[in-house]
Amino acid sequence: MADGGAPAARGSSRGVLIRDDWPGFPLHLFSFPKHYAEDLECVLIPHGIIMDRTERLARDIMSDLGDHDIVVLCVLKGGYQFCSDLVEVIKALSRTSERSLLMRVDFIRLHSYLNDQSTEDLHIVGPEDLSILSGKNVLIVEGIVDTGKTMKALLKHVVTFQPKMVKVAGLLVKRVASGVGSLPDYVGFEIPNRFVVGYALDYNEYFRDLSHICVISDDGKRKYKV
């Protein structure tokens, strides 16, 4: 934890570092749906901080990819809120700066979790035929990357359609011992190995209606376990 009780920050490709000993913010300091009152441990990243970091990532993407046509490939469902907010900021920057970024947005859905455990099976739901990516600059937008196995499999799938370039923006990267592959090109936050929900990240389809990114409690896991 940094001085003053805030998570440490650093300027690097790994994003904003949230250390393992960061306890998070007490729930009573924030507004959230009352039906989750017993299901959360803490607020790990408040919504306002998410939005500020998203704006910074959008500016970095504009700096790198501005004046190119890109296809934004949103990974559903956990990435939809981050992708939506990121695209909105890029659109605003395109209107107000000398550089612009012409975007087309498409979607792909992946499923690899059972309760709070990542499984070996990756299921691609939706448009498996991504021939629209052929010869295009592609920006994959993902809500969270943990072991990296899902992202590695998705990248392997995407490159079969011969895109011109592929970049990855991940809001969260989780520090896990079993991590494989490389980091996303654009990282919002590097977080401890804790199961987080909110801002479209779910636990068995619950908690997507949280604005903040929170740590789920053991009671919450038991309550919504399938």
Which residues are part of the catalytic machinery?
146
Instruction: Give me the residues paired with residue 139 across strands.
Output: 72, 167
Contacts of 177 (CB under 8 A, 6+ apart): 193
Comparing C-alpha atoms, which of 123, 122, 82, 125 is closest to residue 105? 82
169 in Cβ contact with 184 (< 8 Å): yes
Comparing C-alpha atoms, which of 195, 172, 196 is closest to residue 183? 172
Which helix (H) or strand (E) covers residue 104, if one does? strand 102-114
